[in-house]
């Protein structure tokens, strides 16, 4: 069992979660905020079997687009652009999984 933790942009959240639930993945959506841009994003928690992790990540990647966003800076025009997304994914081992 693994816990896939995926940070996706707000714009892609609906498409990513729809694709995952259609393929029978169980998901928890958390509303989160990026530390750098301080903009809202979504962190998805997906508990799944080891052999389904690659497929899960493929689906997330297929539905996450790259975005360019303005970041505040000390530049004369007051901003600069950074590339954000598609998705940032962490895969964690799960010691125990129970539904009580």
Task: Candidates 28, 35, 49, 74: give the one binding ligand 2BA (CB under 6 A).
Answer: 35
Distance CA 85, CA 88 (A): 7
- ∠ CA 6-87-32 to the nearest 5 degrees? 55
- Is the CB of 15 or the CB of 88 nearer to ligand 2BA? 88
Maximal CA-CA distance, the chain: 57
* 3-state secondary structure (DSSP) of residue 95: coil
Residue 3 engages ligand 2BA in binding (rule: CB under 6 A): no
* Rounded Cα distance, 100 and 89, in Å: 28
Give whichever of 47 and 85 is closer to ligand 2BA, judged by the CB atom: 85
The C-alpha R_g of the chain, in whole angstroms, comes to 15
- CB 43 to ligand 2BA: min, Å: 8
Site string for ligand 2BA, 43-82 (x = CB under 6 A): ---------------------------------------x
Which of 16, 59, 84, 89 lies at the binding interface for ligand 2BA (CB under 6 A)? Answer: 84
């Amino acid at each position: 069992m693994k816990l896939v933790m995926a940070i996706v942009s707000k714009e892609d959240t609906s498409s990513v979660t729809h694709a995952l639930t259609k393929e029978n993945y169980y998901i928890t959506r958390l509303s989160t905020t990026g530390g750098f841009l301080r903009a809202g994003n979504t962190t998805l928690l997906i508990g799944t079997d080891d052999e389904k992790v690659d497929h899960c990540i493929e689906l997330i990647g297929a539905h996450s687009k790259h975005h360019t966003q303005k970041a505040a800076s000390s530049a004369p025009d007051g901003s600069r652009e950074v590339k954000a997304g598609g998705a940032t994914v962490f895969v964690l081992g799960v010691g125990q999984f129970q539904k009580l």
